[in-house]
Amino acid sequence: MSGTVVDLLDPAVHAGQDLRAVWRELRRREPVRWQPVDRAHGAAVPGCWVVTRHADVQRALRDPGTFSSEGGNMLATLLQGYDRGAGTMLVVTDGPRHGALRRLLSGGFGPRQLGPVTDSIARSTRALLGGLVARGGGDFVTEVAAQVPLRAICELLGVPETDRARVLELTNAAMLGEQDEAASLEVRIARSEIMQYYLRLAAERRTAPGSDIVSLLVGSTVDGRPLTEEEVLSTCYNLIIGGDETARLALAGGLLALAEHPGQWRRLRADASLVGPATEEVLRWTTPVAHVGRTATADTELGDGVRIAAGDAVTLWCASANFDEEAFADPDAFDIGRDPNRHVTFGFGPHFCLGAQLARVEIRAMLAELRNRVTSFEVTGPAPRLASTFVRGVSALPVSFSA
């Protein structure tokens, strides 16, 4: 392909420019493209396939038998050729084991569990946003967007209130950008500390169980045996990272989108019935998880007959699929009334995100509280984008509010 020459494996590329034109050209001219990788930088594989069309992304996601998650579901693990959580962590487990783990965890996200959490989200949103509005503004990311989802997932996991500030600090560190060795070291330290924390919490729940997900994990069996300590810890880590990061980035990105599209903000303020469809449009527009990694288990084809060999690494770019002209009318428009809205922000098929309903509740609560409490707002400083190939969003969002 002659036009697009950016290195999609470089985190700085994703922070430094709007890639929508790049995705558009790839979908049009080379929707399944081979991206080589410099083996000198420690990659275990020669490169990966970049898949950008909505239909192809959906096709691969619905077929874990051919496109397996167990070689890694993100570039950082996919390119090293393995994921240590494979077979124990839900997001990188396939087949019958995935189904059994998913059925178990679904019980922790049922109406009985989410009902009280939904009420808690409304209260947290009201208090946090209200405080920021009363002060006239501040950093929406650190003061609101990072706090609401963390409180919700910590409540589901049964994390005591006294521990939640430290859990947030560790979560932030664990998802630092991928671009330098110092960040990588901090990531490893934070992940280790998170695991140690849940090791202690799981031990407490074995002797004093509650109604939280950690208690569910330590007190249940899968395929006739209790979950191992590694399986419990991997699942807790998966939930705390996924539950915090996706919603945080969507909340901040949604507010930024409304600031950049004042006509849509006026529509939302005028019509409460738009909170639901606006939530879906925020999820599509922000697409907090840029790609999903898979490994081909057999020779196959994608796109217009492009041959993919068994063992090849495949990256499915939701950040492109959610702006595909074949799936969305006028995809580059932020339209809070968009219908239908078949975004793949939560994935598709057997690995569809278990926390999707929780994230939707958090975004709806934020949009409802904004339209009820705020008359106008503006971004007052830089909103730097994360240097990451995996997650998309801003690390800070300074705003001023008028009630």
In a domain, 163, yes or no: yes
- pLDDT surpasses 70 at 2: no
Q: Are strands 313-317 and 47-51 parallel, antiparallel or unpaired?
A: parallel
Report how many domains make up the chain.
1
Comparing 10 with 315, which gets the higher pLDDT? 315
- pLDDT surpasses 80 at 83: yes
Q: Are strands 225-226 and 300-302 parallel, antiparallel or unpaired?
A: unpaired
Asked if residue 69 lies in contact with residue 82, where contact means CB atoms within 8 angstroms, the answer is no
Is the N-terminal amide bond of 340 cis, ω within 30° of 0? Answer: yes
Asked if residue 26 lies in contact with residue 402, where contact means CB atoms within 8 angstroms, the answer is no
- pLDDT surpasses 90 at 256: yes
pLDDT at 61: 98
164-174 and 181-207 helices cross at what angle (nearest 10)?
140
In a domain, 6, yes or no: no
pLDDT at 4: 53
Model confidence over 180-218: pLDDT tens digits? 444 577 777 887 888 898 899 999 999 999 989 999 999
pLDDT at 153: 86
- pLDDT surpasses 60 at 71: yes
Q: What is the 3-state secondary structure (H, E, C) of the chain?
A: CCCCCCCCCCHHHHHHCCCHHHHHHHHHHCCEEEEECCHHHCCCCCEEEEECCHHHHHHHHCCCCCEECCCCCCHHHHCCCCCCCCCCCHHHCCHHHHHHHHHHHHHHHCHHHHHHHHHHHHHHHHHHHHHHHHCCEEEHHHHHHCHHHHHHHHHHHCCCHHHHHHHHHHHHHHCCCCCCHHHHHHHHHHHHHHHHHHHHHHHHHHHCCCCCHHHHHHCCEECCEECCHHHHHHHHHHHHHHHHHHHHHHHHHHHHHHHHCHHHHHHHHHCHHHHHHHHHHHHHHHCCECEEEEEECCCEEECCCEEECCCCEEEEEHHHHCCCCCCCCCCCCCCCCCCCCCCCCCCCHHHCCCCHHHHHHHHHHHHHHHHHHCCEEEECCCCCECCCCCECCECCCEEEEEC
As a whole number, mean pLDDT of residues 371-395 equals: 95
pLDDT at 177: 43
Mean pLDDT of the chain: 91
Model confidence over 228-237: pLDDT tens digits? 888 898 888 7
In a domain, 401, yes or no: no
39-43, 146-150, 234-238, 335-339: which has the minimum mean pLDDT? 39-43
- pLDDT surpasses 50 at 392: yes
In a domain, 33, yes or no: yes
Domain range spanning residue 282?
Answer: 11-396
In a domain, 264, yes or no: yes
- pLDDT surpasses 70 at 116: yes
In a domain, 402, yes or no: no
In a domain, 148, yes or no: yes
386: domain CATH number is: 1.10.630.10
CA distance 319 to 328: 13
In a domain, 315, yes or no: yes
Asked if residue 160 lies in contact with residue 168, where contact means CB atoms within 8 angstroms, the answer is no
Read off the pTM: 0.93
Residue 24: what residue type?
Answer: R
